[in-house]
Amino acid sequence: MPANLSSRSLVRRGRSRLWSSGMSEFAAAEAAVQAAIDAGARYADARVMHRRHEVMSARNGDVDDVSQTSDSGLGVRALVGSGWGFFAVADLSDGTVRDAGRRSAEIAAASALVSRAESHLVPSEAVSGSWSSDCAIDPFDISLSVKGDMLVRATELMGEHGADLAEAMCQSWETRKWFVSSEGHRIDQHIRESGAGIMATAIGDGETQRRSYPANRGQYRTRGWEFVEELDIVGHAARVGSEARQLLSAPVCPSGETTLILGSEQLALQIHESVGHAIELDRILGWEAAYAGTSWLDLAQLGSLKFGSELMNITIDPTIPGALGSFGYDDEGTPATARDAVRNGIWVGVLAGRDSGALAGLDYGGSVRADGWARLPMVRMTNVGLEPGPHTFDEIVAATDDGIYMETNRSWSIDDRRLNFQFGAEVGYEVKNGHLGRLLRNPTYTGIGPQFWSSMDMLSSEITAWGTPNCGKGQPGQVGHTGHPAAPARFQNVRVGVRA
Amino acid sequence: MNAEQDLATSAVEQVSAVLGGAEVEASANRHRLSLTRFANSVIHQNVAEDVTTVRIQIHHEGRTASASASVVDASALAALIERVSAVVRVAPVDPAWGGLAAPAVPPVGPNEATEVAPDERAVVVRDFVDGAAGLETAGYCRTNVWNGAFANSAGQSVHGSAIEAGMSGIARTNGADGVARHAPLRIGDLDGTALGARAAAKARAAVDPMEMPAGRYEVVLEPTAVADILENLAVAGFNGKAVNEQRSFMRVGTDQFDRSITLVDDPLAIGSRFDTEGTARTRLTLVDRGTTVALTQDRRSAAEAGSNSTGHAFDSTFSWGPSARHLGMQPSGVEDEIATEVDGPMADSSVAALVAGVERGLLVTDFWYTRMLDPRTLAITGLTRNGVWLIENGQIMAPLRNFRFTQSYAQALMPGNVRAIGRTATPIPGDTYTATSPRWSCPAVHLASWNFTGGASG
């Protein structure tokens, strides 16, 4: 409520701030949890979060956006019978957070009108802990002029080398959060994320062509500004602008079945869409059936189902240093732990939370996160990606007599069971007799998940941990940040060149 | 002066005191958003929030910066002002600044702001579950109450409120899904029982689907599918920024659509009377009987195009450009005509009337995961969902497996491809990523051709 405009000061005290009203973040969370329990909840947890986000973008030689957002607040979750209730407020004063706790229990009780048998939670040891992501250079310490100069220069170079529309962007996030549960968890985390990207669009007669670096949404990590410097977007700008222009006159990707080699960025999104979402336990249990969809995977086949070829080893690993899906604890207080999702082509693990894990008869959660304090924590990908293969990209190309190489995602679409997909890439190349050949425009490919993954016969060891900062899921909609280690790989008998 | 007006006005005054001569605008928005979600026929997620956000934009000495924050008191507002004032001093030069909105009184709209109790949403969900008569159900019931205010240093000061309600749910049986959606203004106008029954009827009629070969088919698209066409036209077609950048196919004054197509954006329908730049909104006709007559503009895109803002700025305007969020296709029937429920898989009598005119084609309930392949042709790939049926001689003959399609939406509504428009329009809720959901007013449409490029089944 904004009505009270009386001034209150904010003082830092250790890892938790202390408001002049006397409430630190931990104290506010504890008060909300206690109020929920007092109102009848059998379990409650609360997260206080402070978030900052800065985005700067440039277009055709000018900065066209500098925007900063910040928000702070508390979200409290209560379990009454089998029903969850959640309430969020921005005001961390004692009366408001206690009222939020009470209202979360009230909402949970309303859920009982259409309820099931009592829910259970996978046991979780009450943890007290702290965690911070690595950050050598705080991105919020870098001046806007430095950021602006970098972005403007990149767009100028793209324009000089053929782009009609040259765009560049950098983003940074800082998240501090404090978690308390009625079981005794007490955890604080500090996560900083940074990234950048450039995009060149060439406008032709009736169509556009686009080329990006490192990816069309940029590349992001749980790291500081040093990661943006490593990306060197200015150093790649001329090539990107030139390639966008070249694409306008390139031949169209042929239609038919062929051998397909994917670059690691495109394969990262392939993993995200056809593996990561498919192994989300809430989808498998039908909790997302009306919107995000379900999964073709059946829990009865966990441990035996052939998902792909023996080269396919996919892990769920939030402990990878610097990857975008890394954290110390998930938003239910479960410590970050690596586990297998697919081992030697066999499906062996899921992304789970404490309630979904218990319902499925599993003994683990650990993959629950929320998009800010005002959203209910839900099952999300962490870092879901491939382990390295035995080959190199050069070896894969050299071993291919006839095929197409595609890189950098341009479009993506997959059905609600995560089976049938169609992807478009920004650029394709013919592969003939072990060499990359002509540039191809509008490359697309389509397939069915397990058939596609079973056709993977070569996989590179050159792993990159790609970051996806725009994973949508849930209602109200939540945007998640996920990581996807991936390397170039080869697939057989893939249908390419689908057109309108 | 209410709390939101107090915040917006106070922000402008404080910034002006710090940065003399600066152009300043501020908006304060309080959302009481609640959403009750159900799956496997039980409520499994039930959430609510009460959040006020203040956004300030400053243009000072040729530089522009904006910032927003959740604000609960004077110190939070002061911190936001200090931050954005510091940023604008070092921000890069902004030659494309569109200026401030001049004082203008927005049109009068609904002015309700009554919060809805969780029990009321739970009752609608229970009715949907009961209406599905034993089929497994999933979906949501959502309400939002918005109170907002805007002020700028040019003297514009406006405030308002709006309400929304929406429901989207599926019923499932034997691997088949059916859907029903509705977005009236008030939760009292949500008939959970009727929506559950409609979804269940579709699901039952979709069991044991057969595979049809890919190819071009005549189609009847139900309002739930038409909503996707309207959303893509709004975001990538009429968007003034996309047109400025030559990424859109829209050309004002050109006959780009069939003469049966008239498209109108009507934010006033939910009470949204001004945009985030304080520009008064209107009921804006974008396509008049096939001719593109207007684009959506914010102040920045309008300045670049040499036109005027149409009141379509929103928080993400910089990134996405100004787009319509309450777009509707004019139905062919008389004003306020209401469709009736019908037996079988068709959504209502309006859809049934179109199906009766198809010799051989497909009835499509819904589109899913549509993504753009090329913005200039609005080439889209996606899948069908929640029920597809074969139509022969005006009759529903058999359920079909889902298809993947790759279709130019520009060509879908072009002259000659539109056989008929439904007599009634249904308000369909859009996505739920923002507190205020888009809302699409959609009749069913009968199209001569739609390009299905493959089967979706595994």
Using a CB-CB distance cutoff of 8 angstroms, which residues of chain A are in contact with residue B436?
none
Whether pLDDT at B315 is above 90: no
Computed over every residue of chain B, the mean pLDDT equals: 94
| Domains of chain B in sequence order | 3-205 (3.30.2290.10), 215-455 (no CATH)
Give CA A428 to chain center in angstroms: 26
Distances in Å between the alpha carbon of B426 and those of A457, B49, B325, B349, B370?
50, 28, 15, 12, 21
DSSP state of B201: H
**Helix, strand, coil content of chain B in percent (nearest 5):** 25, 40, 40
Closest Cα in chain B, distance from residue A398 (Å) = 31
Whole-number percent of chain B with pLDDT over 70? 97
Give the CB-side neighbour count of residue B210, counting CA atoms within 13 A: 7
Instruction: Give the tens place of pLDDT for each residue, A83-100.
Output: 899 999 999 999 999 999
Give pLDDT, residue B456. 67
Whole-number percent of chain A with pLDDT over 70? 96
Segment A137-154 mean pLDDT: 95
User: Quick check: A110 and A84 in contact, CB under 8 A?
Assistant: no
Instruction: Give the tens place of pLDDT for each residue, A368-413.
Output: 999 999 999 999 999 999 999 999 999 999 999 999 999 999 999 9
Segment A101-105 mean pLDDT: 98
Whether pLDDT at A281 is above 70: yes
Distance CA A281, CA A288 (A): 10
What is the rounded end-to-end Cα distance, in angstroms, of chain A? 50
Where exactly does CATH 3.30.2290.10 map onto chain A? 10-248
Distance CA A237, CA B282 (A): 42
Interface test with A, best of B50, B88, B127, B224 (most A CBs within 10 A): B50
Contact A71 B70 (CB under 8 A): yes
Give pLDDT, residue A22. 53
Closest Cα in chain B, distance from residue A433 (Å) = 30
Contact A420 B457 (CB under 8 A): yes
Q: How confident is the model at residue B206 (pLDDT cuts 50, 70, 90)?
A: very high
Closest Cα in chain A, distance from residue B268 (Å) = 23
Using a CB-CB distance cutoff of 8 angstroms, which residues of chain B are in contact with residue A1?
3, 50, 52, 72
Whether residue A473 lies within 8 A of chain B, CB to CB, comes out as no
Nearest CB partner across the interface for B37, out of A8, A70, A475: A475
For chain A, what is the radius of gyration of the CA atoms?
24
Using a CB-CB distance cutoff of 8 angstroms, which residues of chain B are in contact with residue A475?
35, 37, 45, 140, 142, 432
Describe the crossing of helices A94-111 and B118-131 by its angle, rounded to 10 degrees.
20
Nearest CB partner across the interface for B140, out of A62, A69, A475: A475
Give pLDDT, residue A421. 95
The residue among B164, B154, B159 whose CA lies nearest residue B4 is B159
Please state which of the ranges A39-43, A167-171, B271-275, B327-331 shows the lowest mean pLDDT: B271-275
Burial class (CB in 10 A: 0-12, 13-18, 19+), B210: exposed
Q: Where are the beta strands (DSSP E) in A296-338?
A: 314-316
Whether residue A459 lies within 8 A of chain B, CB to CB, comes out as no
Closest Cα in chain B, distance from residue A395 (Å) = 31
Contact A110 B90 (CB under 8 A): no
The residue among B273, B284, B235 whose CA lies nearest residue B430 is B235
Question: How many contacts, defined by CB atoms under 8 Å, are there between A and B?
Answer: 313
Closest Cα in chain A, distance from residue B335 (Å) = 32
Interface test with B, best of A4, A9, A113 (most B CBs within 10 A): A113
Q: How confident is the model at residue A4 (pLDDT cuts 50, 70, 90)?
A: very low
User: Quick check: B286 and B256 in contact, CB under 8 A?
Assistant: no
Using a CB-CB distance cutoff of 8 angstroms, which residues of chain A are in contact with residue B370?
413
Contact B404 A422 (CB under 8 A): yes
Whether pLDDT at B269 is above 50: yes
Distance CA B140, CA B157 (A): 36
Instruction: Give the tens place of pLDDT for each residue, B111-167.
Output: 666 788 999 999 999 999 999 999 999 999 999 999 999 999 999 999 998 888 999
Using a CB-CB distance cutoff of 8 angstroms, which residues of chain A are in contact with residue B83?
68, 70
Contact A68 B377 (CB under 8 A): no
Give the CB-side neighbour count of residue B276, counting CA atoms within 13 A: 23
User: Quick check: A479 and A380 in contact, CB under 8 A?
Assistant: no
DSSP A376-441: --EE---BEEEPP-SB-HHHHHHT-SEEEEEEEEEEEEE-TTS-EEEEEEEEEEEEETTEEEEEEB
Distance CA A316, CA A321 (A): 13
Interface test with A, best of B381, B383, B384, B409 (most A CBs within 10 A): B381
Whether pLDDT at A2 is above 80: no
- Phi then psi for residue B350, to 5 deg, are -65, -40
Instruction: Give the tens place of pLDDT for each residue, A18-34.
Output: 444 457 999 999 999 99
Scored b (16 or more CB within 10 A) or e, B343-376 reads eebbbbbbbbbbbeebeebbbbbbbbbbbbbbbb
Using a CB-CB distance cutoff of 8 angstroms, which residues of chain B are in contact with residue A66?
64-66, 87, 91-92
Give pLDDT, residue B281. 94
User: Quick check: B154 and B100 in contact, CB under 8 A?
Assistant: yes
Residue of B nearest to A6 (CA): B74
User: Quick check: A404 and A255 in contact, CB under 8 A?
Assistant: no
Distance CA B372, CA B380 (A): 4
Q: How confident is the model at residue A249 (pLDDT cuts 50, 70, 90)?
A: very high
Burial class (CB in 10 A: 0-12, 13-18, 19+), A139: buried
User: Quick check: B240 and B298 in contact, CB under 8 A?
Assistant: yes
Using a CB-CB distance cutoff of 8 angstroms, which residues of chain B are in contact with residue A152?
92
The residue among A458, A438, A456 whose CA lies nearest residue A394 is A458
User: Quick check: B401 and B208 in contact, CB under 8 A?
Assistant: no
Distance CA B140, CA B124 (A): 10
Give pLDDT, residue A18. 47
Burial class (CB in 10 A: 0-12, 13-18, 19+), A239: middle
Q: ipTM score of the complex? A: 0.92
Give pLDDT, residue B96. 84
Give the CB-side neighbour count of residue B166, counting CA atoms within 13 A: 28
For chain B, what is the radius of gyration of the CA atoms?
23
Nearest CB partner across the interface for B39, out of A66, A206, A286: A286
Whether pLDDT at A8 is above 60: no
User: Which residues have CB under 8 Å from B30's CB, separation 6+?
Assistant: A2, B3, B4, B50, B51, B52, B146, B147, B148
Computed over every residue of chain A, the mean pLDDT equals: 93
Whether pLDDT at A1 is above 80: no
Distance CA A388, CA A338 (A): 16
Segment B192-213 mean pLDDT: 97
Interface test with B, best of A102, A103, A107, A376 (most B CBs within 10 A): A107
Q: What residue spans of B180-298 are helical by DSSP H?
A: 192-205, 223-232, 240-244
Give pLDDT, residue A325. 98
Closest Cα in chain A, distance from residue B149 (Å) = 12
Using a CB-CB distance cutoff of 8 angstroms, which residues of chain A are in contact with residue B430?
none
DSSP state of A300: G
Whether pLDDT at A489 is above 90: yes
**What is the value of pTM for the model shown?**
0.94
Contact B47 A87 (CB under 8 A): yes
Assign domain A10-248 to its CATH superfamily. PmbA/TldD superfamily (3.30.2290.10)
Give the CB-side neighbour count of residue B176, counting CA atoms within 13 A: 24
Closest Cα in chain B, distance from residue A366 (Å) = 19
Please state which of the ranges A314-323, B37-46, B132-141, B308-317 shows the lowest mean pLDDT: B308-317
